[in-house]
Amino acid sequence: MGNFELKLATFWREFYANGGYNMVLEGLKNTLIIAVLGLLIGSVIGTVIAAVRVMPKYKVLPRVLNGICSVYVSFFRGTPMVVQLLVFYYVLFPLMGVNMTSVMVSVMVFGLNSGAYISEIMRGGILSVDPGQMEGGRAMGLSFSATMMKIVIPQAVKNILPTMGNEFITLIKETSIVSFVGASDLYKAFNLMGTNTYEFMVPYLAMAVVYIVMVLIITLLIRLMERRLRKSDRSM
Amino acid sequence: MIEVCNLHKSFGDLQVLKGVDLTIKQGEIVVILGPSGSGKSTLLRCLNCMEDPTAGNIYFHGVDLTDMKVDINVHRQKMCMVFQHFNLFNNKTVLENLTLAPIYVAKKKARAAKWAKLLGRPYEVADIRSNKEISDEAEARAMELLGVVDLQDKAAEYPSKLSGGQKQRVAIVRALAMNPDVMLFDEPTSALDPEMVGEVLEVMRDLAKAGMTMVIVTHEMGFAREVASRVLFIDEGVIQEEGTPDEIFNHPQNPRTQSFLSKVL
Ligand SMILES: Nc1ncnc2c1ncn2[C@@H]1O[C@H](COP(=O)(O)OP(=O)(O)O)[C@@H](O)[C@H]1O
Ligand SMILES: [Mg+2]
């Protein structure tokens, strides 16, 4: 056990005295930025796609849009996120002449990717809302999109909040891949501490702990939010 | 006001309406009777194109609603529907249920008028109003309407807190808030507990007295006899018989009408 204490001391020296915590904080910050912005972008994209996919389809435009959305969703669900990240960072964005930091590219890819997943979650949420709500809106002369935005989606969001929490947790954990394109994340921070000290056991354990603590805190926050929502419509 | 010509509607292989012709004049109260599954709801929903007719035409104020180029939303605002299951907006308060569509319409008009002004096209000066003016006016009108059905104290409640009868009264004034030219009722009392049927029929009776044009699908025969200016009996996808309440209820000619009435009266 003396060995472990030594390793712990080495880690602590690297983490505290040698300023390793700076990189951990930086990694934490990037992880949160990528996950939060990714979730926001993904929610917007996902909601739009879901709305397109439940549109009535006897006109041409909705059919075309629906086709585009299917392709989009199959691409982002059908390839690993690391691959998407690499393709966007090293191929697509350079080809398009877009110059972005690796963190911003990660935000984009996480947003695009979670948009595909959230569209499926949101579609389920929309389908779980009583069709009478859409009818009620349309019969009053509201357009499809106005009824969707004002009536159906707010109710759908309430239904899918727990699932969205899970999506957020998935995104948090997935951020551990962004060092593939050179972004400073938790993996990079702890890995560097390992490289500097030739001692990887404690840094990797510490990394696991940081992730678990983050996920636990988020889970707690989601629980609280759900409880408040449930209170507000106890009688439904 | 409404003219239906040779209306057909099929769902896949199922032919529900097989050629319905119908004219509804201003101020008329048309009651539609018929056995369950005979296509009453389908006919009503074709009137405002909630179902697209398979064939035939619907003219509303002379405009053919089946024409895909027509902006159906504009016409639906003048042809409001009241549903069996109320379909109140669950995420909105009672007041918001009444103001949502009027505010939406007024803001849209205001926006269009502002653009027209900017581009030097003709526009209605009266349409240009601030958002505050629009919502204040909508709320004032909504409170007035809630007063008519005695539900002003429920303005801030959500629909889930209301009884069925209260919900349907809100649904009726929600439609009225659009100042519609005609109101379509699809079995408005069928989902209600018996003790609540009266309060809803009362509201509809008042509407009838005020001269509202109404098309009503109902199984409340007493009510139909009392308010209808015309009664239609639908079966097998066509209008089997139509006439005054006296003609239909007291002297039905068609054997189908006779057998239907003998079952329900
Ligand atoms: N959206 C739909 N899709 C398929 N069949 C339908 C649909 N709506 C109604 N129908 C069928 O059309 C027939 C007439 O229905 P409906 O107009 O609701 O009758 P009613 O209101 O007179 O009871 C029924 O057989 C019903 O099953
Ligand atoms: Mg029906």
The band of A65, judged by pLDDT with boundaries at 50, 70 and 90, is very high
B45, B48, B66, B89: best mutation site toward chain A, by most A Cβ within 10 Å? B89
Which residue's CA is the nearest one to ligand 1's atom 16?
B39
d(CA A177, CA B177): 55
**Cα angle, residue A129 at apex, residues A128 and A130 outer, rounded to 5°:** 115
Which site among A140, A153, A158 would you substitute to test the B interface, given the most B Cβ atoms closer than 10 Å to its Cβ?
A: A140
Res. B114: pLDDT tops 60: yes
Count of other CB atoms within 10 angstroms of residue B233: 23
Q: Whose CA is nearest to atom 5 of ligand 1?
A: B11
Burial A40-70 (b: 16+ CB within 10 A, else e): ebbbebbbbbbbbbbbeeeeeebeebbeebe
User: Tokens in use for B12?
Assistant: 């896949």
Tens of pLDDT along B188-226?
A: 999 999 999 999 999 999 999 999 999 999 999 999 999
Residues 6+ apart with CB under 8 A from B18: B8, B236, B237, B238
Residue A207, φ and ψ in degrees, nearest 5 = -60, -45
For position A196, what pLDDT does the model report? 86
- Beta carbon of B38 within 6 Å of any ligand 1 atom: yes
- Could you tell me the distance, in angstroms and rounded to a whole number, from the CA of residue A190 to the centre of ligand 1? 64
Express as a percent the part of chain A with pLDDT over 90: 59
B160 Cα to chain A: minimum distance (Å):
6
pLDDT attached to residue A235: 46
Instruction: Answer for the pair A154, A146: CB distance below 8 angstroms, yes or no.
Output: no
Contacts of A143 in chain B (CB under 8 A): 73
The tokens of B240 are what? 């089997």
3-state secondary structure chain B: CEEEEEEEEEECCEEEEEEEEEEECCCCEEEEECCCCCCHHHHHHHHCCCCCCCEEEEEECCEECCCCCCCHHHHHCCEEEECCCCCCCCCCCHHHHHHHHHHHHHHHHHHHHHHHHHCCCCCCHHHCCCHHHHHHHHHHHHHHHHHHCCCHHHCCCCHHHCCHHHHHHHHHHHHHCCCCCEEEEECCCCCCCHHHHHHHHHHHHHHHHCCCEEEEECCCHHHHHHHCCEEEEEECCEEEEEECHHHHHHCCCCHHHHHHHHHHC
The pLDDT tens digits for A140-165 are: 999 999 999 999 999 999 889 889 98
Partner-chain residue, chosen from A136, A141, A236, that has the shortest CB–CB distance to B77: A141
**pLDDT at residue A236 in the model:** 46
Q: What is the pLDDT of residue A170?
A: 92
Chain A interface includes B163 (CB < 8 A):
no
Whether B99 and chain A come into contact, CB under 8 Å, resolves to no
Average of per-residue pLDDT across B94-99: 96
Total of domains in chain A: 1
* Of B16, B83, B184, best ligand 1 pocket probe by most atoms within 8 Å of the beta carbon: B16
A window 156-175, beta carbon within 8 A of B: 158
What is the pLDDT, as a whole number, of residue A231? Answer: 66
Provide, as residue numbers in chain B, all residues whose Cβ is less than 8 Å from the Cβ of A135: 50, 83, 87
Say whether pLDDT at B229 is over 60.
yes
Contact B33, B243 (CB under 8 A): no
Calculate the average pLDDT of chain B.
92
Residues, chain A = 236
Q: Which of B117, B108, B113 is nearest to B127 (CA)?
A: B113
Q: Closest partner residue to B89 among A133, A141, A233, by Cβ?
A: A133
* Band of residue A2 on the pLDDT scale cut at 50, 70, 90: low
Chain A, nearest residue to B159 by Cα:
A236
Distance CA A201, CA A206 (A): 9
Rounded mean pLDDT, B215-240: 93
Which positions in chain B touch A138 (Cβ < 8 Å)? 50, 73, 76
pLDDT of residue B84: 94
Are the CB atoms for A89 and A102 separated by under 8 Å? Answer: yes
- Within 8 A by CB and 6+ apart from A169, the residues are A215, A218, A219
Cβ atoms within 10 Å of B106's Cβ, excluding its own: 19
Query: Order of strands across the sheet with B55-60?
Result: B14-24, B2-11, B55-60, B63-64
Return the sign of the alpha-carbon dihedral for residues A12, A18, A24, A25: positive
Ligand 1: centre distance to CA B33 (Å): 15
Task: Tell me the CATH number at A189.
Answer: 1.10.3720.10
* pLDDT digits 0-9 by tens, A103-130: 999 999 999 999 999 999 999 999 999 9
pTM of the predicted model over 0.95:
no
Domain around A53: 3-235
Contact residues, chain B, for A58 at CB < 8 Å: 52
Average pLDDT over residues A212-235: 81
Please give the Cα distance from B36 to B15 (Å, whole number): 15
For the segment A27-62, what is each residue's pLDDT rounded down to a tens digit? 999 999 999 999 999 999 999 999 999 988 777 888
Share of chain B above pLDDT 70, in %: 100
- Mean pLDDT computed over every residue of chain A: 89
Ligand 1 neighbour B39 (Cβ under 6 A): yes
> pLDDT of B125-161, one tens digit each?
888 888 999 999 999 999 999 999 999 999 999 999 9
Please tell me the distance between residue A149's alpha carbon and the centre of ligand 2 in angstroms.
Answer: 28
Q: Is the CB of B224 under 6 A from ligand 1?
A: no
pLDDT recorded at residue A36: 95
Q: Is the distance from the beta carbon of residue B168 to the nearest atom of ligand 1 less than 6 Å? A: no
- The answer, yes or no, to whether any atom of ligand 1 lies below 6 A from the CB of B34, is yes
Alpha helix segments (H runs only) across A54-174:
60-78, 81-86, 93-96, 102-127, 131-139, 144-147, 153-174
Chain center to CA of B158: 23
CA of B67 to the centre of ligand 2 (A): 25
Q: Say whether B87 and A139 touch across the interface (CB within 8 A).
A: yes
CB A81 within 8 A of CB A170: no
Closest-CA distance of chain B to residue A23, Å? 45
Chain A residue numbers touching B215 (CB-CB < 8 A): none
